[in-house]
């Protein structure tokens, strides 16, 4: 769509649905972005609120990326029973998906939460929180009130966030790392591993609800948002932070729901598919903590992936602008088949997932046809949708125990 078309779309949405733009404050900031970013303290972070209360040790870590973002991480160094036999624990990095943070892994009772299950199974567990989320809204020089703070897409998560987390964990433990991603966490893992920058620090990877190709996703809201250039329209109006909970973005989502005749009260089901195994208290806790903000540029990049049916770096919209950034008219492609063929991989995907559609996941797995056969495990869970993999009450028995067994085999 040409820029003039995007402007027209943005104006049409504003006029048709009567959306009002919040006024700028005295410093030129949009009103709903005013206020200081939340500061994580020993008594208010994820460790205190969601790990230590269950009787586990937990450490808060801050990691600085090479482009200046200060990322918050949690470490659960041992299980609830203590250090066990004293043997060295293998580190596992657990990476969340889009519009959530590390808290999304900790919404069920302790015996159903993946990080605590892995800690009890003998692993040194780390949780990452990507830039822009609640406790990673910090930068050495920039404020989240500045548009420049939000000038990134998932390319930067690949190039800066994951390497910073890996370097920190490897520097403290001296060991190779098991990686576990969900949703966007799988996408940035695939992209990063394909460029082989982390290969010397990576032991294995488990991908839950893996996404890389999104052309067949069946989520109505996601499809409409991507194909109607929602994120681009939001960017043109001047919103650098994409926060579904407030302001113009929230109004846009309501407008899309209204236009499509969708009941967006159950936003989880609308976006992820009909999850089989969530309980009401977990959903309430999820909605109290999530969704988290991301950058509008990140949402544009994801929309490009849906529309273009390719896995490429961010498209700046013209050959000239791409040439300036990449030295070529088209953004470079990520070549997933370049992931080292001897890297142990575990895939788990669901039959009712509206984001990681079965057709797209099968196409993704087909990119590994030259991978060492004995290095790939694939699990298909017919009744699971996208959120079941992180919050399902049956996930421990259905998925997590299999993940732990897979990791232990790579010792």
Condensed to tens digits (0 to 9), the pLDDT of residues 325-362 reads 999 999 999 999 999 999 999 999 999 988 888 999 99
Across 13-40, average pLDDT: 33
The pLDDT value given to residue 16: 32
- Residue 23 pLDDT: 30
Which of the four pLDDT bands, split at 50, 70 and 90, describes residue 14?
Answer: very low
pLDDT, tens digit (0-9, with 9 covering 90-100), for 305-314: 887 778 999 9
Q: Count of CB atoms within 10 A of residue 250's CB?
A: 14
Task: Summarize pLDDT for 227-277 with one digit per residue, the tens.
Answer: 555 545 555 556 788 877 766 666 666 666 666 666 655 556 666 667 878
Active-site residue set: 183, 353, 386
Region of poorest pLDDT, from 33-47, 109-123, 231-245: 33-47
More confident residue, 368 or 221: 368
Output the pLDDT for position 229. 52
Q: Rounded to the nearest 5 degrees, what angle is found at the Cα of 20, between the Cα atoms of 12 and 33?
A: 120
Highest mean pLDDT among 118-127, 273-282, 347-356: 118-127
- pLDDT band of residue 222 (cuts 50, 70, 90) is low
Q: Which two tokens stand for residue 350?
A: 């669901």
Q: What is the pLDDT of residue 46?
A: 94
Res 105: pLDDT: 95
Tens-place pLDDT, residues 145-196: 999 999 999 999 999 999 999 999 999 999 999 999 999 999 999 999 998 8
pLDDT of amino acid 243 = 79
| Unique residue bearing structure tokens 């903000």 | 293
pLDDT score, position 393: 93
pLDDT at position 161: 98
Tens-digit pLDDT profile for residues 255-266 = 666 666 666 555
- With a cut of 50, say whether residue 202 has pLDDT above it: yes
pLDDT score for 261: 66
From 31-40, 161-170, 322-331, 387-396, the region with the lowest mean pLDDT: 31-40
What's the pLDDT score for residue 277?
A: 80
409 pLDDT higher than 90? yes
Buried b (16+ CB within 10 A) or exposed e, 1-35: eeeeebeebbeebbeeeebeebeeeeeebbebbee
pLDDT value at 219 more than 70? no
* pTM as predicted: 0.86
How would you write the chain as a 3-class SS string? Answer: CCHHHHHHHHHHHHHHHCCCCCCECCCCCEHHHCCCCCCCCCCCCHHHHHCHHHCCCCEEEEEECCCCEEEEEEEECCECCECCCCCCCCEEEEECCCCCCHHHHCCCCHHHCHHHHHHHCCCEEEEECCCCCCCCCEECCCCCCCHHHHCCCHHHHHHHHHHHHHHHHHHHHCCCEEEEEECHHHHHHHHHHHCCCCHHHEEEEEEECCCCCCCCCCCHHHHHHHHCCHHHHHHHHCCCEECCCCHHHHHHHHHHHHHHCCCCCCHHHHHHCCCCCCCHHHHHHHHHHCCCCEEHHHHHHHHHHHHHCCCECCCCCCHHHHHHHHCCCCCCECCHHHCCCCCCEEEEEECCCCCCCHHHHHHHHHCCCCCCHHHEEEEEECCCCCCHHHHCCCHHHHHHHHHHHHHHHCC
Residue pair 367/336 in contact by the 8 Å Cβ criterion: yes
- Residue 6's pLDDT is 39
């Amino acid at each position: 769509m040409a820029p003039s078309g995007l402007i027209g779309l943005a104006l049409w949405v504003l006029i048709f649905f009567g959306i009002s733009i919040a006024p700028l404050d005295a410093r030129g900031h949009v009103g709903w972005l005013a206020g200081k970013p939340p500061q994580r303290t020993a008594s208010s972070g994820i460790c205190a609120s969601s790990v230590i209360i269950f009787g586990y040790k937990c450490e808060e870590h801050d990691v600085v990326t090479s482009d200046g973002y200060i990322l918050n991480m949690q470490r659960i160094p041992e299980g609830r029973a203590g250090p066990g036999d004293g043997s060295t624990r293998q580190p596992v990095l657990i990476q969340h998906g889009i519009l959530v943070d590390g808290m999304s892994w900790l919404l069920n009772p302790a015996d159903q939460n993946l990080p605590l299950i892995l800690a009890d199974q003998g692993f040194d567990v780390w949780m990452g929180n990507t830039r822009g989320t609640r406790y990673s809204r910090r930068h050495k020089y920039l404020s989240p009130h500045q548009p420049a703070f939000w000038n990134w897409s998932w390319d930067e998560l690949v190039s800066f966030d994951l390497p910073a987390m890996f370097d920190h964990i490897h520097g403290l433990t001296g060991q190779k790392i098991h990686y576990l991603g969900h949703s966007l966490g799988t996408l940035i893992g695939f992209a990063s591993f394909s460029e082989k920058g982390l290969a010397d620090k990576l032991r294995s990877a488990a991908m839950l609800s893996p996404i890389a190709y999104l052309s067949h996703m069946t989520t109505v809201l996601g499809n409409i948002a991507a194909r109607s250039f929602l994120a681009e329209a939001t960017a043109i109006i001047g919103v650098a932070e994409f926060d579904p909970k407030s302001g113009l973005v929230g109004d846009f989502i309501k407008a899309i729901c209204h236009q499509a005749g969708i009941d967006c009260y159950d936003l989880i089901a609308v976006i992820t598919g009909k999850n089989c195994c969530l309980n009401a208290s977990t959903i309430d806790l999820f909605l109290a903590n999530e969704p988290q903000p991301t950058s509008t540029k990140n949402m544009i990049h994801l929309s490009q992936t849906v529309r273009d049916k390719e896995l490429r770096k961010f498209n700046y919209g013209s050959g000239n602008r791409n040439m300036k950034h990449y030295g070529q008219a088209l953004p470079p492609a990520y070549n997933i088949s370049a992931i080292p063929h001897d890297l142990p991989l575990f895939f788990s995907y669901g039959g009712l997932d509206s984001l990681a559609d079965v057709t797209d996941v099968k196409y993704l797995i087909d990119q590994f046809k030259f991978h060492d056969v004995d290095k790939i495990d694939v699990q298909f869970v017919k009744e699971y949708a996208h959120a079941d993999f992180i919050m399902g009450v049956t996930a421990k028995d259905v998925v997590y125990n299999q993940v732990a067994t897979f990791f232990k085999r790579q010792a």
